[in-house]
Structure 1
């Protein structure tokens, strides 16, 4: 890779300054010194050394290291196999919260060998003055780069078993309006054994998956009936029932009222369903 050394800058409230570029193999050293920014380096090839916080780290291609503000650092290439690296510098009021989700600390600033897919995110530099859209894009790309580090190198305490029941609930809440949605679709999205999901879901919500889907649909139908003048047919379609007669049957079985009676009586869905503020049953 023989790219010219380059840099770019961007400002916004969250990532108030962004600078990045590429350093070809040579014997350039930096430090000892301190910076007032964060700097993430990715080693493309070769080897080098980082000295900081009284510790020495011997680095190789594929590894990354983070420079923290106001921390004395000294880094330099291996004389026999000098490194080539790309870097990005940034600061802003959301940086510390982003880095808190990555397995890296001031006294442990080296990230293990990372996928090569991360390298291109360091190489999206513009030259000279940037247009407003380029400034925004550069900040967004740095943020995306950090989220990829979160994905590949999360803090240990953040790694936990997936909330399968929660995933199923969220999927139902977002897709109840789809008339073709089935329990099999929900199981497929969660991607665990069917009976295991059913057990977890029942323990979490007190309801079956199909029952929760029906409750979401009817709860939202109640909301539409009480807050709009939409026809029963339109309400039916809006909550995932293509057949108005079937919708009315399910509605009456669930609420003891027909949709028309429910509307004329000025009933509230809270009379039948515990809510979480979104017209959805609580889990």
Structure 2
């Protein structure tokens, strides 16, 4: 799908929302110019689209796609009650692409939990800018559950364990107590498996990547600030300035003071983030 294909404009994600109590309300056949996500709270009903009929019950969901003809109606013996949210824009399309639902497959079976409270957190008639932001945030939260329960092929791609490990290091490198086991615990896979993946993709170990990242950050600080070596060492996760200086020279071939001088004179290149050696 392409956002331009449907003429979707930017702006608030949420275009409308509401709740329909049990009655004989029906809509269509016709087309809409927004995405309209419906969640069946109780009762039963039917969706007709693309020459198919989908029976729906409590906990099921369906989406009306832009410019796709639909007809939906309640079961006369057990009319449904449902809540709905209309959304549009490229961001809505990006999120919906992560859900296993499409014009050719517009329904989702009953969710593992009651999703109505999440629908209730979205308010399309919000007037204040902060209210609209909260409403859009509520829609993102809701769609995140659909992404979890009904992941598309795009969302189901192999998890990026190495990327997650790198991101954890880059968020926490300044902690002197950061260990490889902390990284493993955060990524939540078996230790030796992560080590093999990390080594294969980066050519170094996790501890080597941590050291290299710290030294690279130290190089940036040496060039950008007047921090003392002691303060700089603390800033990148070393409580012992002498040990920091030793590691720094091993990686860069300069002491911190030498590096600062040469950097300011001749623009010494930063060491790449995947150097540093070390063992897990």
- TM-score normalised to the size of structure 2? 0.86
- Partner residue of 2:162 out of 156, 160, 165: 165
**Alpha-carbon shift at residue 95 of structure 1 (Å):** 2.7
Within a 5 Å distance, the mapping from 1:5-16 to structure 2 comes to 13-15=10-12
Within a 5 Å distance, the mapping from 1:31-180 to structure 2 comes to 31-124=28-121, 130-180=127-177
> How far apart are the structure 1 equivalents of 2:193 and 2:66?
48
Q: Which residue of 1 aligns with 2:181?
A: 184
**Alpha-carbon shift at residue 156 of structure 1 (Å):** 2.1
5+ residue gaps, structure 2, are 1-8
Is 1:281 the counterpart of 2:274 in the alignment?
yes
> How far apart are the structure 2 equivalents of 1:232 and 1:149?
50
Q: Which residue of 2 aligns with 1:261?
A: 258
Seen in structure 2, the aligned counterparts of structure 1 residues 237 and 142 have a Cα distance that, compared at 3 Å, is same
Answer with 97-106 or 213-222: which moved more.
Answer: 97-106
Seen in structure 2, the aligned counterparts of structure 1 residues 171 and 89 have a Cα distance that, compared at 3 Å, is same
Q: Is the 8 A contact 2:212 2:275 kept in 1?
A: no
**Alpha-carbon shift at residue 129 of structure 1 (Å):** 6.9
**Alpha-carbon shift at residue 181 of structure 1 (Å):** 0.5
Total equivalences in the alignment: 266
**Alpha-carbon shift at residue 232 of structure 1 (Å):** 0.7
**Alpha-carbon shift at residue 268 of structure 1 (Å):** 5.4
For each residue in 1:20-78, what CA deviation from the matched residue of structure 2 results, as whole angstroms up to 9, or x when unmatched? 11111112222222222221100011110111121111111110000122222211111
Q: Which residue of 2 aligns with 1:277?
A: none
Answer with 44-53 or 155-164: which moved more.
Answer: 155-164
> How far apart are the structure 1 equivalents of 2:189 and 2:231?
35
Answer with 138-147 or 221-230: which moved more.
Answer: 138-147
**Alpha-carbon shift at residue 212 of structure 1 (Å):** 1.2
> How far apart are the structure 2 equivalents of 1:232 and 1:210?
22
> How far apart are the structure 2 equivalents of 1:153 and 1:54?
23
**Alpha-carbon shift at residue 113 of structure 1 (Å):** 1.3
5+ residue gaps, structure 1, are 1-11, 275-279
Answer with 187-196 or 260-269: which moved more.
Answer: 260-269
> How far apart are the structure 2 equivalents of 1:17 and 1:24?
21
For each residue in 1:137-183, what CA deviation from the matched residue of structure 2 results, as whole angstroms up to 9, or x when unmatched? 22332233223322221212431222222211121122111111111
Seen in structure 2, the aligned counterparts of structure 1 residues 140 and 103 have a Cα distance that, compared at 3 Å, is same
Is 1:219 the counterpart of 2:216 in the alignment?
yes
**Alpha-carbon shift at residue 127 of structure 1 (Å):** 9.2
> How far apart are the structure 2 equivalents of 1:21 and 1:125?
9
Q: Which residue of 2 aligns with 1:4?
A: none
Is 1:270 the counterpart of 2:232 in the alignment?
no
For each residue in 1:215-273, what CA deviation from the matched residue of structure 2 results, as whole angstroms up to 9, or x when unmatched? 111111112112221111111011101111221122222223221222223375636x2
**Alpha-carbon shift at residue 135 of structure 1 (Å):** 2.7
**Alpha-carbon shift at residue 17 of structure 1 (Å):** 5.1
Q: Find the residue that maps to 2:99 and give its secondary structure.
A: coil
